[in-house]
Amino acid sequence: MFERTRTVVAVAMLTVATYATAVEMNGGHPDTYVVRKGDTLWDISARFLQKPWLWPEIWQANPQVKNPHLIYPGDVLSLAYLDRVVAQPGPRQEAPISGVPLEQVEPFLKQLSVVDEVKSLPYVVNLEDNRLRATTGQTAYVRGLENAQVGQRFAVVRPTVQYALPKPTEDLNARGDTTPGSGNLWKTFIVPSKRNQTLGYELAQINVGTVTRVQSGNVEVTSLVLQGQVDGREVRAGDRLVPVEARPYDLQFVPHVPAAQTADLDVRVLAVADTFTSGGPRDVIAISAGSVNGVDNGTVFSLWRQGRHVAHRMDYPNSSRMDDSLTSGAGRVTLPDEYAAHAMVFRTFENVSYALVMEGVKPVKVGYSALHPDTR
């Protein structure tokens, strides 16, 4: 399900001075920069800093910029080597630029989630008039909501994929079981992971409903009237239910380096939004680390293609070995890892996180490693 979103992190200010020795500047920058509609802090920082994820340090060195998430198009940001930045306000005719444009990441903030297991969740057992599919205004009959109350709201969700290592993703059927053979493809192009772990199950929201009748007497189901269809999707038997959350996500994001406890963890790209195996800047990826690993919203990783093992044609000109192997061996030469891009986490679950690919030099693919952003 893992839908695409293309977005960026927010705009704010940018300058030097106090952090001139700590933050490396790119050459040839102007003395000032006028914030434009559509700018983001990451993009502005990437133009003038060699490490754009360090912008929070610059902001902290310039307290006159009260809130980096309330920078407006038309504001003038000083880039001169002075003791402090002068942020001259613009005309304030447009809305401020927020941390992440919520309308662009809404599918991942509101319609997708990752849980540890799905078998215990309440499920739709049948639909009004024995329909095969149901939509807004119709009734779904649910098992497993014995303690529900009339008026209580639930999101109807559908298990889509299982995230795990060494197989990054496996498709799920209507019962929430993995589809046999769906994970076999990955082993042909992903360097084997050191981890062997089920990381979670992705749930895609289908609809939202309100309880209108609870179990009683001979009635063994709870009635749920559907009221909030998502992207034309229809509810079917086997879909699961979770409580509606008020706002289980952040509205602003401050990029920062990973916690120390992730240093020795084998973190991989599990999926790329709306594509089969690869994506680029402004695409969303899922990675195999979450809150239990110290990952939180704003954590920045660099993404790397693991070094392959190629046939040594000079010494073995008649070798029949494949030229790009995932493992080393006689007659092969090991190549170095290759940097692909940086990504920033914007939604974190226990063992899985969603992240934005911010900028890079080559496509990001499933199976790539996620390392500290300063890794060379």
Q: Domain boundary at 181, 209, 243, which?
A: 243
User: Residue 288 CA to chain centroid, in angstroms?
Assistant: 11
- Residue 204: inside a domain: yes
What's the chain's average pLDDT? 82
- Residue 309: inside a domain: yes
pLDDT at res. 314: 77
Residues 88 and 120 in one domain: no
Confidence of residue 18 (pLDDT cuts 50, 70, 90): very low
Number of domains in the chain: 3
H-only helix segments in 113-217: none
pLDDT at res. 64: 59
Residues 122 and 67 in one domain: no
pLDDT at res. 11: 32
pLDDT at res. 1: 55
pLDDT at res. 59: 60
Q: What are phi and psi of 126, to 5 degrees?
A: -165, 170
* Cα–Cα dist 156/122, whole Å: 10
Residues 15 and 93 in one domain: yes
Q: What is the CB neighbour count within 10 angstroms for residue 261?
A: 12
Residues 57 and 86 in one domain: yes
Task: Give the pTM.
Answer: 0.82
Residues 93 and 219 in one domain: no
Q: Is the pLDDT of residue 39 over 80?
A: no
Residues 203 and 272 in one domain: no
Q: Domain boundary at 189, 214, 243, which?
A: 243
Two tokens, residue 203: 């749930």
User: What CATH number does residue 313 fall under?
Assistant: 2.40.10.410
- Residue 250: inside a domain: no
Q: Is the pLDDT of residue 255 over 80?
A: yes
- Residue 248: inside a domain: no
Residues 231 and 313 in one domain: no
Task: Please compute the mean of the pLDDT values over residues 192-209 and round it to a whole number.
Answer: 93
Domain of residue 81: give its range. 1-99
pLDDT digits (tens, 9 = 90+) for 67-106: 666 677 887 777 654 444 455 666 777 766 555 555 666 7
Residues 163 and 50 in one domain: no
- Residue 288: inside a domain: yes
Q: Who has greater pLDDT, 276 or 147?
A: 147
Q: Domain boundary at 72, 99, 126, which?
A: 99
Per residue, what are the HEC states of 249-314?
Answer: CCCCCCCECCCHHHCCCCCEEEEECCCCCEECCCCEEEECCCHHHCCCCCEEEEEEECCCEEECCC
- Residue 3: inside a domain: yes
Residues 17 and 49 in one domain: yes
Residues 92 and 118 in one domain: no
- Residue 150: inside a domain: yes
Residues 95 and 119 in one domain: no
Q: Who has greater pLDDT, 60 or 180?
A: 180
Confidence of residue 33 (pLDDT cuts 50, 70, 90): confident
Q: Who has greater pLDDT, 335 or 64?
A: 335
Highest mean pLDDT among 91-95, 250-254, 365-369, 372-376: 365-369
pLDDT digits (tens, 9 = 90+) for 147-166: 999 999 999 999 999 999 99
End-to-end C-alpha distance for the chain, whole angstroms: 34
Residues 236 and 293 in one domain: no
- Residue 318: inside a domain: yes
